[in-house]
Amino acid sequence: MLHSIRDAQPLRVLSRALLGAAALLALGLAPAAPAVAAGFTFTPYPTTKPLPLTKVTFENAEGKTMTLADFKGKVVLLNIWATWCPPCVEEMPTLNKLQVMLGGKDFQVVPLSIDKGGRIAVKSFYDDNFIDHLPIYVDPTTHALDTLNILGTPTTILIDKQGREVARTLGPQDWDKPAVVAQIKRYMAAPAPAKSSQAQPQALQTMAAAATPAAQALR
């Protein structure tokens, strides 16, 4: 249950999550995965095809409400974490390095904290641990846990430029490893979604309106 994820000690959270994953696999409700997929560590939850993501809202460092749609057109590495979670703390420096390596118009690490202390807790953690290239995003309500079906922390979801989930993993990773960087770069190389044009629909409406009198005259 969500309450146990919020309040349990991190090691218990991780154990509960792994047991849940095993149960899903046993029931055939989740795809099995090899221990290592093409040298990459997105296991045990690779998706069989891109999945649309439910809307998730959170706040940035200034308290502005944001959604994942704000990053559409970029590859996003969404990391659900908390300052009280030792595995999360373990991998945070490598996420910081990954943002330095790849961050820009095509890629963004989105570390989404579920700390009840919100922005203050995250800023203090960043300052104490020299995390200087990651933005602050918080969800102190922990609604994202339910919305994204998060079993434990850290959970990391890879999102393509179309805003779809293409992979997820549970547990800490070395995000600056060459194999991981190469995999993410493959998604970064994909074209961004085409922007919809408002001019074309308006032009079609104008043409339709102009054609109506002519059509009536032919009757």
The pLDDT tens digits for 4-48 are 344 443 333 333 344 344 433 333 333 333 333 333 455 445 666
Question: Can you tell me the distance from the alpha carbon of 115 to that of 120, in angstroms, rounded to the nearest whole number?
Answer: 9
pLDDT tens per residue, range 53-65: 888 999 999 999 9
Note the pLDDT of residue 218. 45
What are the Cα distances from residue 60, in Å, to 39, 113, 118, 197, 203? 34, 10, 10, 29, 38
Q: Which residue has the higher pLDDT, 101 or 10?
A: 101
pLDDT tens track for 134-149: 999 999 999 999 999 9
pLDDT greater than 80 at residue 83 = yes
What global pTM score does this model have? Answer: 0.72
Q: How far apart are CA 5 and CA 76, in angstroms?
A: 24
Contact 76, 150 (CB under 8 A): no
Dihedral, CA atoms, 202, 206, 209, 210, nearest 10 degrees?
-170
65, 58, 47: which is closest to 81 by C-alpha?
A: 58
* One-character DSSP codes across the chain: -HHHHHHS-HHHHHHHHHHHHHHHHHTT-S----SSBTTB---EEEEEEEEEPPP-EEEETT--EEEGGGGTTSEEEEEEE-TT-HHHHHHHHHHHHHHHHH-BTTEEEEEEE--TTHHHHHHHHHHHHT--S---EE-TT-HHHHHTT--SSSEEEEE-TTSEEEEEEES---TTSHHHHHHHHHHHTSPPPPPPPSHHHHHHHHHHHHHHHHHHHT-
Q: Decide: 141 and 27 in contact? Cβ < 8 Å.
A: no
State how far the Cα of 135 lies from the Cα of 139, in Å rounded to an integer: 13
Find where tokens 């770069």 sit. 185
Instruction: Give mean pLDDT, residues 160-176.
Output: 92
Query: Rounded mean pLDDT of 179-187?
Result: 92
Note the pLDDT of residue 203. Answer: 47
Confidence at residue 214, expressed as pLDDT on a 0 to 100 scale? 46
Question: Domains (ranges, CATH) in the chain?
Answer: 2-217 (3.40.30.10)
Residues 6+ apart with CB under 8 A from 70: none
Q: Tokens for 194, please give them.
A: 């085409």
Q: Can you give the pLDDT at residue 45? A: 55
Q: For all residues of the chain together, what is the average pLDDT?
A: 77
Where residue 209 falls among pLDDT bands split at 50, 70, 90? Answer: low
pLDDT for the residue 202: 54
